[in-house]
Every structure is written in structure tokens, then in C-alpha cells.
Structure 1
């Protein structure tokens, strides 16, 4: 079977055209359009844009909790959270205002707060360090695992104290 010259020329031309088209597509895809500076209208955010977030570690719902329960929850890393004492909890802080229960979801955690007249910690499975303020003088109490630890007026200091920090240490 002999392939005619015309057929050879046609096949060679088609292969060449395909190769040229592929090269042009590759080059045009790789070339990006030059970037222009955004106009003021596109650079400003609108009310429908997604809000940006910056973590402040503020305790969510703190104002409502302070109004209802008298405990000021300030900031934390989310690993120590106030919970209802009727639910399972990991540690309980006792004060003249009442008993406040906290859930712990990590081996380490931090919560800054203001709980006046605190006098004890009933601790569960996590060792806790509590920082107290008695008239401008800070003291630190280490609460061991599975034990009740007196603090503030019931502890060594014997003074009414404000619990200002809970830290789970292991």
C-alpha cells in the first residue's frame, strides 16, 4: 500500500498544526495578566463581606454571666470553662457567693477571672494552680489532684481573697 504524497502532506500538516496549537495554549496559559492596584470601591469592605477575626481570648458571654452569677470571667484559652454544677465537672471553686464548677478539656489550661471571697478548690483529675489577690497582695495556691484545698480566708493567709487566675498544670 502506497501512501500518496498528498496524504503524507495532509497528515504532516495536521500534526504540525496540533503541535503549534498546544504550544500557543501552554504559553498563553502561563502568562498572567498584569496586576493593577485595586480601586477604592473594591478595596473597602462592605457589610456583606466576611468579618475578619482576631483572637482576643475574651470569655464568651462574660457580661451576662457576671450579671447573673457575680463571677467575672475575663480571658482564657478555652480549656477551662464554667459549667453548671448539676452537670459533670472537673473542679469546683467555693466562695461566699456560692460554688462555681468548671470543666477542663486539656492537660493545660488558663482562665483569668474575678471571684470574690473564694475559700477553697475541690479538684478532680487535673492539678491546678490558683492565684489569689488579698488587698493587692498576690498569692499562689497549688491544688493537687483529687483533693480539697483551702485558700484565701480558709487557707494559710486567712484573709478574704479574690480568685484572679486558674491554671491547669498537667
Structure 2
């Protein structure tokens, strides 16, 4: 039975310090570049990207110190936590700041952990 565990999650955690838990296989960690399907996560420890290969996709994770999210063309939704507070942020190319959204410390809030990322269209 498929458990939706993220492939190579242990190796990614050791090499890149990104804890990927599970996903549907349509949102994959990728090199940052200029692809129209690129989704970029900005953290105080560095940035990293995902590549979407479907109109909808998700991945659950635990990535602390996130301060911004960026999408090149696909709308995304992200669940973030700061202490006991949970927040969902939607980012679109047509949205605020043309696909870039400050979160947590990036918007003068508390340190934020990204717990789920979804492509929504």
C-alpha cells in the first residue's frame, strides 16, 4: 500500500537540512532556476525550490525559519506555524508582489515553520 512517504527523505534531510515527510509525487524538490513551474521557499538558512508536474500537488514538511514564498506561475497555498499559531497563506502570480509573499519574520511576525505546501491550480 502506498504511504506517500517522500522519496529519499532521509538523504535530503542530511544533505540539505530540509525535512520532507510525505507528498503525492507531483511536487518535487528541484534546482532553483527560471522554470515557469518553480516554487521557491526562502529561509534564513538558505533557499530551495520545488517543481510542480501537475495542476494540483502537495508535500508535507517541517522547514523552520521561513520568511518568504515565491511562485513563478502556479498558485500555491502554504500552511505555516509560529508557536501554537497556524496560518494559511495563498500566493499567486497575480497576487501580492507578483508571486512573492513575505511570511513570519519576513512580515515582522514570529519565526515561522512551513508544514505543508500545495499547488492549487
Length-normalised TM-score, structure 1: 0.65
Equivalents in 1 of 2:107, 2:24: separation in Å? 28
Which of 64, 77, 80 in structure 1 is aligned with 2:11?
A: 64
Assess, with a 3 A threshold, how the Cα gap between structure 1 residues 81 and 139 changes in structure 2: closer, same or farther: same
* Alpha-carbon distance, 1:159 to partner: 0.7
Conserved 8 A contact 2:41-2:66 = yes
Which of 81, 100, 114 in structure 1 is aligned with 2:62?
A: 114
* Alpha-carbon distance, 1:87 to partner: 7.4
Tell me how many residue pairs correspond in the alignment.
Answer: 116
Equivalents in 1 of 2:14, 2:101: separation in Å? 28
Q: Which has the higher helix share?
A: 1
Q: Could you list the runs of 4 or more consecutive aligned residues of structure 1 that deviate by over 6 angstroms after TM superposition?
A: none
Largest Rg, 1 or 2: 1
SS at match of 1:65: helix
Q: Which has the higher strand share?
A: 2
Partner of 2:86: 138
Alignment gaps of 5+ in structure 2: none
Partner of 1:152: 104
How is 1:53-132 mapped onto 2 (pairs within 5 angstroms)? 54-86=1-33, 88=35, 90-132=38-80
Alignment gaps of 5+ in structure 1: 1-53
Q: Cα RMSD (Å) of the superposition?
A: 1.5
* Alpha-carbon distance, 1:136 to partner: 2.1
